[in-house]
A = this chain, B = another copy of it.
Amino acid sequence: MTDKDTAPALARILVVDDEPQIRHFLQISLKTEGYEVHEAPTGEAGLAHCARKPLDLVILDLGLSDCDGTEVLRSLREWSSVPVIVLSVRDREQEKVKALDLGANDYVTKPFGIEELLARVRSQLRIQDNQTTGSNAWAIFDDGVLSIDLSNRRIYRQGDQVRLTPKEFAVLQVLMKEAGRIVTQPQLLKEVWGPTHTQDTHYLRVLIGKLRQKLGDDPTEQHYIETEPGVGYRFSGNP
C-alpha cells in the first residue's frame, strides 16, 4: 500500500500586485514562513492563475494597472470561494465596505506592517483549515451520568470527579470541539502531539482506551467515544 495520505501540504498563496517591489517583498516574507508563493502582475494574470492551479489564499492589491481590483474580485467570486486578503492604499471606508461585500475576507491598508499581514494570513488559513466549523461545540456536556465542563476542566461521573492527564484532556477537548463530527487520527495527533507526530497512532489507541475507561464507556453499550475504523474517532453526545 502506498502512503500518499500524509503530505505536509504547505499552503499555496498567490500574490496579485503590479508593483514588482511589493511582489518581491511579499514573496520573500511569505516564503520565509514556509508558504508556496506564486505571483501575478496583473488582474487578468491573477484570474488565469486561480483558474489553473488550486490555491489556499490570494493576496490582491486593489490598485492594479490593467483593471480595477474590485472587478478582479467580483469575477473571482463568481466561481471561487478561495480566501482573499485585499491590499489597498485607499483608506476610505466606502472602499473597504465595497471590497468586503464583494467577497473579500480581509482588508489591509497600505502601508502595512508585515507581521500584521502575516498574522492575518495565518488567521485566514486557520479559518479555512477549520472546515469542520466547531460552532456546535459543547463547553458543557451532561447526560445525567457523565458531566463535562471544558471551560473549568472539570469532569464528573456519577458525582465523582474524574482526573484526566493533560494529554487525555487535550484529546477529549479536540473531540468535543468537533462534537458529533469525526476527527481523523492525523488531525488528532497533529493537534495534541504536534505536526511531526501525525503517524504515531500507537499511543493514541492506548490513550483512547484509558479515556474510555475513565469516562465509563462500555464498549457493548452506548459509546461516548465512537471509533470509525481506519479514519478516527468521534464524540457522540445524544445517540
The residue from B4, B122, B181 contacting A100, defined by CB atoms under 8 A apart: B122
- Determine whether A136 belongs to the interface, using a CB cutoff of 8 Å to chain B: yes
Interface size on A, residues (CB 8 A): 69
CB atoms of A79 and B131 under 8 A apart: no
Number of this chain's copies in the assembly equals 2
Chain A 182-222 interface 0/1 with B at a Cβ cutoff of 8 Å (1 = within): 10000000000010100000000000000000000000000
CB atoms of B97 and A115 under 8 A apart: yes
CB atoms of A79 and B139 under 8 A apart: yes
CB atoms of A231 and B81 under 8 A apart: no
A57 to chain B, nearest CB (A): 10
> Among the listed stretches A13-21, A28-36, A48-56, which one makes contact with chain B, having 4 or more residues with CB under 8 Å of it?
A48-56
Chain A 122-143 interface 0/1 with B at a Cβ cutoff of 8 Å (1 = within): 1100111011111111111000
Chain B residues, CB < 8 A from A4: 194
Q: Which residues of A contact B (CB under 8 A)?
A: 1-2, 4, 47, 50-52, 54-56, 75, 78-83, 93-94, 96-97, 100-101, 103-107, 113, 115-116, 118-120, 122-123, 126-128, 130-140, 150-153, 165-166, 173, 176-177, 180-182, 194, 196, 228-231, 234
